[in-house]
Every structure is written in C-alpha cells, then in structure tokens.
Chain A
C-alpha cells in the first residue's frame, strides 16, 4: 500500500489491537441484523401452523451437509490462526484456502438445493415461509461470499508473512458466519 498506517491505528489504549476491536464491533452489529431477520421469522413461524406444510419441503440432508461443511471450514480457519500464531504464514495461507474451499462447497450445495426447490415451484413468492427462507439464507450466503473474498485477500498476504494478525481477524468473522448457520439450520431444516 502506498499509504503509511496512521499512528492512531497502532495505539491500543483499550488493551486490544485496533483490528480485533473493530471485528468484535462488527460482530455485535451483525448479531443485531441477523437477530432481526431470525426474530421476524420465528414470530411468524410460531403463529403460522400452516407453514409446516411448506417447511416440510426443505432438504434436511442438504442443510445437514452444509452444516458439516461450515463446521469443518471453521476448523480450518482456527487452524490457520494457530499457524499464524506460530509465525508460519505459508501454513496459515494453506488453511485459509481450505476454508475458502469449504465456502465454495457450501455455495455449490446451496445452488443445487435452491435450483431443485425453485424448479419445483417453491419460489420466493410461493409463500411467506419461502420468502423468509430465501431472504435469511440469502443474506447469510452473501456474508459467506464476502468472507471468502476477504479471506483470499488475507491469505495472499499471509503467504508472504505479511499482516499475519489479520488471519485471526478474518477467522473471527468466519466463525460468526458459521454461528448464524448453526441457528439457521435447526430453524429452517429441523424444527419444521
């Protein structure tokens, strides 16, 4: 980067690095966003016994596989952090690329899942259940995509042992994305 880091960025009066502090704030604001979506869904679901007839058509196996994929990708993310802490940038980058692989797998499974559902008439306008389903999972998927892109960028630097502290930061974000899915999965696929 052509620009030097400001002195401000290097200070830690609150006892934590600036980047990490910022990521935790980001997580807090994302909790409220996803909380709003999920709270809205839960309220409707509890008041709509008729949605059981719609919800039955979600693909539990696809959902479960995706949960497995995300949990495993979280493992890779924390192993990347582990490697970065030990100063091994190349290994950290490798694990980050594996995490991105998990993200891609998640998105592929989801595409098949949604294609099947849409082609069978369960579109976003078919019922408000499906509207919530696609909106909630869609906003989540957007976060997966953005996270994967940032992760590729961080891995590129980590490979050269540059800015290794960012491995942990993107990891924290990634675990949050995993956390949202940990709640979406039972809501959309199990508690039908």
Chain B
C-alpha cells in the first residue's frame, strides 16, 4: 500500500476546480428536482425526481468515487449487486405491490386501503400543486 507521500513530487495535479464544478452541477440538479412537483404534473415530478436522482448518483459514482478508474471487476461487483436488487424487486412486487392476481385476493389489504382512503378524504396530498408540507392534521 504505497504511501501517498510518493505522489508528493508534484505528480498529482490539483483537481479542486473540477470537483467544485461537479458539485455546482449537482446543486442545480437538486433545485430542479425540488421544483418539479411545483408543476403539478405527476409524470414530470417522477421524471425529475428519479431521473435526476439517477444522474446525480452516476455523477457521484463516476467523479467523486472515481469508479471509472477502477479495474473492470469493480464495475461487475456493483452492477451485479444492482442487478440482484432489480431481480428482487421485480420478482416480489407482483405479490406485495398488487392486492389481487390469478386465483388470489388480499382482502385485508384492500379493506385497509379503502378505510384509510375514506378516513382522509378531502385532505390534500403531495400531488396537489404548491402544498407540499405542513398539511392538515387528523
């Protein structure tokens, strides 16, 4: 494990400006993702929120974690871990996310959802334009 002092002979350039630039871009993206819901369109909200999350994540991984400089197998570990997470989600969601399917129904969940929806009817949610915090108490 070579001591980083070996690089002290001026080999390593100062990348400060580069990192600050990336940070600034990340902040701009953050602002866009916050403003997304203000447009009131659910599709746009989801796109800005998660699309930007993915882009921000990619930038942090590539520029801050220097994942691009690592040997190929590091890319494989990370993509494999992510792939397993997608596998888990898509295989399990049909059972947990949905409340009925071929030959089965989850009555308890349906009743619970129905009663909750009735209880909160009339309250605003985050989908309403411009009212995203400090909502009504029940």
CB distance from A9 to the nearest CB of B (A): 7
Interface of chain A: mostly helix, strand, loop or mixed: helix
How far, in whole Å, are A10 and B49 apart by their CA atoms in the complex? 44
Those of A29-46 within 8 Å (CB) of chain B: 29, 31-32, 35-36, 39-40, 42-44, 46
How far, in whole Å, are A35 and B109 apart by their CA atoms in the complex? 24
Those of B25-84 within 8 Å (CB) of chain A: 26-27, 30, 33-34, 36-37, 45-46, 49-50, 52-53, 56-57, 60-61, 63-65, 70-71, 73-74, 77-78, 80-82, 84
Q: Does A75 contact B (CB under 8 A)?
A: yes
User: Size band of the A side of the interface?
Assistant: 35 or more
How far, in whole Å, are A117 and B53 apart by their CA atoms in the complex? 25
Closest to A176 in B: B65
Closest to A172 in B: B65
Please report A residues at the B interface, Cβ cutoff 8 Å. Answer: 9-10, 14-20, 24-25, 27-29, 31-32, 35-36, 39-40, 42-44, 46-50, 52-53, 55-61, 64, 67-68, 71-72, 74-75, 77-79, 82, 84-88, 120-121, 161, 164-165, 167, 171-172, 175-176, 178-179, 182-183, 185-186, 190-192
